[in-house]
Structure 1
Amino acid sequence: MIRINDLSKEYETKKGSVIGVDRVNLTINEGEVFGIVGYSGAGKSSLLRCINLLERPTSGKIEVNGLDLTKLRGEQLRKARLKIGMIFQHFYLISQKTVAENIAFALKAADTPKEKIATRVLELLEMVGLTDKKDVYPAQLSGGQKQRVGIARALANNPSVLLCDEATSALDPNTTLSILRLLKKINRELNITIVLITHEMNVVKEICDRMAVMQDGRVVEEGMVYDIFSNPQADLTKEFISSVVSFEVPQSILDQVTGRIVKVLFKGNVAGEGVISDMVQNFDVRGNFLHGSIEYIQEVPLGLFLMEIQGQPENITRAITYMEGRGAQVEVVRSGH
């Protein structure tokens, strides 16, 4: 478990003090994948680097598995950091060393007995699917393969926590998906706690259990990923989610719509039910879909629809009440002409 208590980080610049992280409090549970989302400059990278004390916080406390890292120095801190792996956006592999040598470097730095290094390297290469690249140099690898080497290196000393600093930002969508699936596999099989920072909500939607949204050094929203996607509170969170789930309908289409326009949200198993078709049949109204999708978050469906409902006002009201009774959240976007 990671506990971040009242954490702040200030930087001194020529123009004076700048606050990078501003009194953040977070609890990240053992074995979960936790996403930290924000635009550039939000403070998420600074916060991540404070977790393993690559950046020493100005104030506050960080506990990892019950150990207060802010009280550690020298050899004690070095040993604690061995249990916190880190992967980066730009890989940082040693170009003059082979894939195997890059991974072995992390083991040697941790004083792993020489006779155990070769075996451990092979185990790690198998875990990340690169056994055939053992003697290849980084320049001969694709971006996704380089990141797999970075993941293997980060896992070399059996960490309990893995920090991911924009780990997929430099990769194409297909490669990003394969890396995220590898991270989720590692999380499930090794029970490693993963803290992942990103500016991409698709990344969070794919593998995170819980998330926090940062702005100007502060956490503006925190919770289960599914709950935040289905009911975002902060304006910034809504902005991020709109990049994944958009209800934009061309104005030329809206101009032709005469009925009541409603936004309908179905959570969980309700998303698979024929609520809308039942509503149309039972209440003498007509439904016209303007936009719709079903997202799967942690394998649980989230149905989002924008639709026009036509009919007598009292029938439309009864139809909306019926959908709400069946578990839908309904918001009237426009009352109709």
Structure 2
Amino acid sequence: MIELKHLNKEYKTKKGTIYGVRDVNLSIRKGEIFGIVGYSGAGKSSLLRCINLLEKPTSGEVIVDGVNLTTLSKPQLRNARQKIGMIFQHFHLISSKTVFDNVAFALKAAEKSAEEIKKRVPELLQLVGLADKADQYPAQLSGGQKQRVAIARALANDPQVLLCDEPTSALDPMTTKSILALLRDINQSLGITIVLITHEMEVVKDLCDNVAIMQGGVVIEQGAVYDIFANPVQPLTREFIQHALDFKLPDPLWDKLDSGSKVVKILFRGHAAEQAIINQMLKVTNVQGNILHGKIEYIKDKPLGTFIMEVKGEQSEIDKALQFLVDQSCGVEVVNRD
């Protein structure tokens, strides 16, 4: 559906060239939800805006549904963009227009008839749960409602692709969940391919099928969301996941631990997350175990268990216990106090 090939975006400044995107290659399948994650300045917004050529790439190819957008004339590109909707962090609604007219704006830009607009706008507002807000103005809406209007506007011309630029970062947690649920419903009911950028792995975990991690304009790691959570390779990826799954132990707990013990983080992937592996480990080794923290997440309906555990005993027995876990396909990492 979307192919990015050797994509580069450079910005010329008085201080020299800034590289927003560096040799990015991505393949996004039709109908999937693809996340792009990175901290501020990582290049994720530049990359997203290159997909619909709001930012013209310095070099490389952007192929959407078999068409290389970088080769199109301006009129051809305008037509192609009608099939690529976009929503933004700060909604970009027109404050002087009603909800109805904000959604209608996209249809007027596509030169739809007044009759088509009159029929289409109520359908879109019904889809996003705002059928009763047509005559209100943006100032009368909550943040979540404003984003729903923006989503309705982005869907006005039946796009094949929906680009989402930090769509929930200005919203509170409960509203974020409702917007993510709406995007998931839109993806499933309409089959729209969604590309979403965020700095929150929690959003990726809840919504996306695949994810790319960006740093310094480069994609440093990519893959299925479950695989990235279960086996992160890059330090930045591990940092994002640690924040998302909240593994940090409080200082008072560290103070209570025996000086000779080891603290280990154990990752149970797939089938192993539902087995009594820790109990088995304690039976076959001469160690004592004390679970300090643990939970099982379900990512795309696959379990991923994470436990932090204090292990006490002779060093040889501790080594034997950790090797047992590794042999059971568990990820094992010794945790040190920061």
- Displacement, 1:252? 5.1
User: Is 1:300 aligned with 2:302?
Assistant: yes
User: Is 1:327 aligned with 2:329?
Assistant: yes
Aligned match of 1:288: 290
Aligned match of 1:44: 44
Secondary structure class of the residue paired with 2:310: strand
Whichever residue aligns with residue 156 of structure 1, its letter is A
Gaps of 5+ in 1: none
Whole-angstrom distance in 2 between the partners of 1:323 and 1:188: 38
Aligned match of 2:121: 121
- Displacement, 1:24? 1.0
Whole-angstrom distance in 2 between the partners of 1:188 and 1:22: 32
- Displacement, 1:104? 1.0
Give the 5 Å matches for 1:83-98: 83-98=83-98
Alignment identity in percent? 60
Structure 1 residues 321 and 15: CA distance shift in structure 2, 3 A: closer
Structure 1 residues 148 and 316: CA distance shift in structure 2, 3 A: same
User: Is 1:223 aligned with 2:223?
Assistant: yes
Q: Deviations over 1:81-126 (max 9, x none)?
A: 0000000011111111111111111111112232121221111111
User: Is 1:32 aligned with 2:35?
Assistant: no
User: Is 1:265 aligned with 2:267?
Assistant: yes
TM-score, reference length from structure 2: 0.93
Whole-angstrom distance in 2 between the partners of 1:160 and 1:186: 11
Q: Deviations over 1:169-214 (max 9, x none)?
A: 1101110111011001111111111000111111111101111111
Structure 1 residues 96 and 252: CA distance shift in structure 2, 3 A: closer
Whole-angstrom distance in 2 between the partners of 1:150 and 1:267: 38
Whole-angstrom distance in 1 between the partners of 2:173 and 2:250: 27
Secondary structure class of the residue paired with 1:287: strand
TM-score, reference length from structure 1: 0.93
Whole-angstrom distance in 2 between the partners of 1:156 and 1:35: 23
Secondary structure class of the residue paired with 2:196: strand
Q: Deviations over 1:278-329 (max 9, x none)?
A: 3324545321012222222223221111112234555544444443444322
User: Is 1:102 aligned with 2:93?
Assistant: no
Whole-angstrom distance in 1 between the partners of 2:239 and 2:163: 25
For structure 1, which segment, 175-184 or 224-233, has the greater mean C-alpha deviation from structure 2 after superposition? 224-233
Structure 1 residues 333 and 39: CA distance shift in structure 2, 3 A: closer
Aligned match of 2:61: 61
For structure 1, which segment, 244-253 or 51-60, has the greater mean C-alpha deviation from structure 2 after superposition? 244-253
Q: Deviations over 1:141-185 (max 9, x none)?
A: 000000000000000101000000111111011101110110011
For structure 1, which segment, 141-150 or 303-312, has the greater mean C-alpha deviation from structure 2 after superposition? 303-312
